[in-house]
């Protein structure tokens, strides 16, 4: 029963981490970090991402333009690019490392300590990936709220609001954190007993060694 529970926790943890990693990649390249709806022209909608700004018009559709300079971007967008790429890389490493530590993988069945360490390391990588995904989206959201309620800006000036990418990024970050927690719980909270089949294989190898040496098994 403990083995089934352990494998189930690993499976759910990997799925959540994989989902969070995919969503973090989508968040990185989605041009909807901030939205701007113009009251004077409701048929026009502006969006801003980490790489480009887009305008959507009813007759023309969506048109996007890449940012000309990285250094000309606001600080939160520059740092967000770096952190999101770091989150994507850490998530990919976490999937590789924790994948080799899964109990359902037949590789390294006799090295349970190594597989446990791989699971723990994978969980830590997922934690780090989740934090590095939550920081940029939360920072951009904080700056958006500050600018929205800035009293020095005239009321006639349109205000930026939260885009869909921020909500996807939050979900991705928490999925990575939860997936890492489940993997570490499965690695540290439950112990897997050595399967009886392993004892049979070990006993058979012992018998073969005695036969090759031409000696009798002293246990008999």
| Residue 66, pLDDT score | 93
Residue 157 CB-half CA count within 13 A = 10
**Is residue 65 in a domain?**
no
**Is residue 194 in a domain?**
no
**Is residue 134 in a domain?**
yes
- Interatomic CA distance for residues 181 and 184, integer angstroms: 5
**Is residue 110 in a domain?**
yes
Residue 174 has which token pair? 């928490």
**Is residue 131 in a domain?**
yes
Give the length of the chain: 220
**Is residue 161 in a domain?**
yes
- Interatomic CA distance for residues 28 and 127, integer angstroms: 18
pLDDT 10s digit of each residue in the chain, 220 long? 667 777 888 889 999 999 999 999 999 999 999 998 776 666 788 999 999 999 988 778 889 999 999 998 999 999 999 999 999 999 999 999 998 888 776 665 566 788 889 999 999 999 999 999 999 999 999 999 998 888 888 877 888 999 999 999 999 999 999 999 999 998 887 555 544 434 333 443 444 354 345 554 444 4
DSSP for 171-199, written as a single string: HHHHHHHHHHHHHHHHHHS--PPPPHHHH
CATH at 99: 1.20.140.150
**Is residue 213 in a domain?**
no
Farthest CA pair distance, the chain: 97
Q: Can you give the residue range of the structural domain that contains 114?
A: 1-32+73-189
**Is residue 92 in a domain?**
yes
Per the structure, how many domains does the chain have? 1
């Amino acid at each position: 029963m403990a083995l089934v529970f352990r494998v189930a926790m690993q499976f759910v943890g990997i799925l959540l981490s994989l989902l969070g990693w995919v969503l973090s990649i989508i968040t990185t390249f989605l041009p909807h970090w901030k939205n701007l709806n113009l009251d004077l022209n409701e048929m026009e909608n502006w969006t801003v991402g980490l790489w480009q700004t887009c305008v959507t018009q009813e007759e023309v559709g969506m048109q996007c333009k890449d940012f000309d300079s990285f250094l000309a971007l606001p600080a939160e967008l520059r740092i967000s690019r770096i952190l999101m790429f770091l989150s994507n890389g850490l998530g990919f490493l976490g999937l590789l490392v924790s994948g080799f530590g899964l109990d359902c993988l037949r590789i390294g069945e006799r090295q349970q300590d190594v597989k446990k360490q791989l699971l723990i390391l994978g969980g830590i990588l997922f934690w780090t990936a989740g934090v590095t995904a939550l920081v940029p989206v939360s920072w951009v959201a904080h700056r958006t709220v500050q600018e929205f309620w800035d009293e020095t800006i005239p009321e006639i000036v349109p205000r930026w609001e939260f885009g869909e990418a921020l909500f996807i990024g939050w979900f991705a970050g928490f999925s990575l954190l939860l997936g890492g927690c489940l993997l570490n719980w499965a690695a540290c909270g439950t112990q897997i007993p050595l399967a009886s089949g392993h004892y049979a294989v070990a006993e058979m190898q012992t018998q073969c060694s005695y036969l090759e040496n031409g000696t009798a098994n002293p246990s008999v």
